[in-house]
Amino acid sequence: MNHLLRKPFPRCLAICYSVRRHTNRHVQNNIGNTAARLRVHEDRYADDVSTALPVQSVLSDLKKETEGLFHNAGQMVGHVQAKLLHQIVALQRPRRVLEIGTFTGSSAIAMASALPAESSLVTLEVSAQHADVARRYIEKARMGHQVEVKVGPAIDSLNALSQSKAEFDLIFIDANKLEYHQYFDICINNNLLSDHGVMLVDNVLFFGQVHRLAGYESLLEVPKKISKRAKALQEFNQHVLQDPRVEVVMLPIFDGLSIIRKRREN
């Protein structure tokens, strides 16, 4: 989440990032690149028949600015996923939310728009440029009193939160895929996730490549950047599954979404 538009970006990756939220077969579908196979129309229909967010106009402005500033604007959560995050917060009514990976703030704003008045959200971002945009739009959405943006490497920020004995009822992970394993371990080992909390982890199918690496389908030739992260995510998924302290369900929606909670004794 820290590359700027100014840097050259391979066309294959640019196409993939622009459609990654639609399906779990991104790379394969990009070869044919038909609207039907990318489920673009289903995505639009789902968006149209889902209740609009109270901050929709702010998110629309944010999307336009992000697309103008950064080459990787596709890393913003899509409209439907933003609405899902909002709905989860509305249902759970968490006291504190932690987001690992702010980008330009769309997911933080979507979640914060459903927060109870007494609740708060902390979001972590490695890029000062991204964080500056996020802060401006958080203020524009009138959420500055509830949302705090922390800038710096996520692992450093998580360790600092651990030392302060912070605890969160909802944790959303959408940052450096190579560090997911460490994010998870820090959160669970240090009880950053409350006993009744929920952890959401995005991009766990990563361009439809993770299940291929696991042997469920033949491998495709993809850029090394994608295959490296897919391998890390495959290892992360297995790590979570084998951890006796938690239970996980993976949903094949968007780019793959895992829902994790701590095991509870009967």
12, pLDDT greater than 80: no
pLDDT at 47 over 50: yes
Largest CA distance in the chain: 55
Q: pLDDT tens digit string along 234-256?
A: 999 999 999 999 999 999 999 99
**Exposed (0-12), middle (13-18) or buried (19+): which is 68, by Cβ within 10 Å?**
exposed
Written as one letter, the residue type at 28 is Q
The arithmetic mean of pLDDT across residues 218-245, rounded, is 96
**194, pLDDT greater than 60:** yes
pLDDT at 40 over 90: no
Tokens standing for residue 194: 């409350």
What DSSP assignment string belongs to 27-52?
HHHHHH--TTTTTHHHHHHHHHTSPP
Strand pairing category for 257-262 and 193-202: antiparallel
| pLDDT for the residue 207 | 92
Q: Do residues 134 and 123 touch, judged by C-beta distance below 8 A?
A: yes
Question: For all residues of the chain together, what is the average pLDDT?
Answer: 89
User: Which region holds residue 93: left if phi is over 0, alpha if psi is between -120 and 50, else beta?
Assistant: left
With tokens 């697309």, the residue in question is 67
d(CA 154, CA 30): 31
Structure confidence by residue, pLDDT tens digits, 158-174:
999 999 999 999 999 99
Strands 96-100, 120-125: pairing is parallel
**Residues 6+ positions from 101 with CB-CB distance below 8 Å:** 1, 123, 124, 125, 154, 172, 173, 174, 175, 176
pLDDT above 50 (res 44): yes
Work out the average pLDDT over 47-58: 97
Q: How confident is the model at residue 264 (pLDDT cuts 50, 70, 90)?
A: confident
Neighbour order of strands in the sheet with 96-100 = 147-151, 120-125, 96-100, 168-173, 193-202, 257-262, 246-251
- Note whether 254 and 81 are within 8 A (CB): yes
- The one-letter amino acid code at 178 reads L
10: which 2 tokens?
A: 């391979």
Give per-residue pLDDT as tens, 70-94. Answer: 999 989 999 999 999 999 999 999 9
DSSP β-ladder status, 168-173 and 257-262? unpaired
Instruction: Provide CB contacts within 8 A for 124, sequence distance 6+.
Output: 98, 99, 100, 101, 102, 150, 152, 154, 157, 158, 175
At residue 200, what is the residue type?
L
Q: pTM for the full model?
A: 0.87
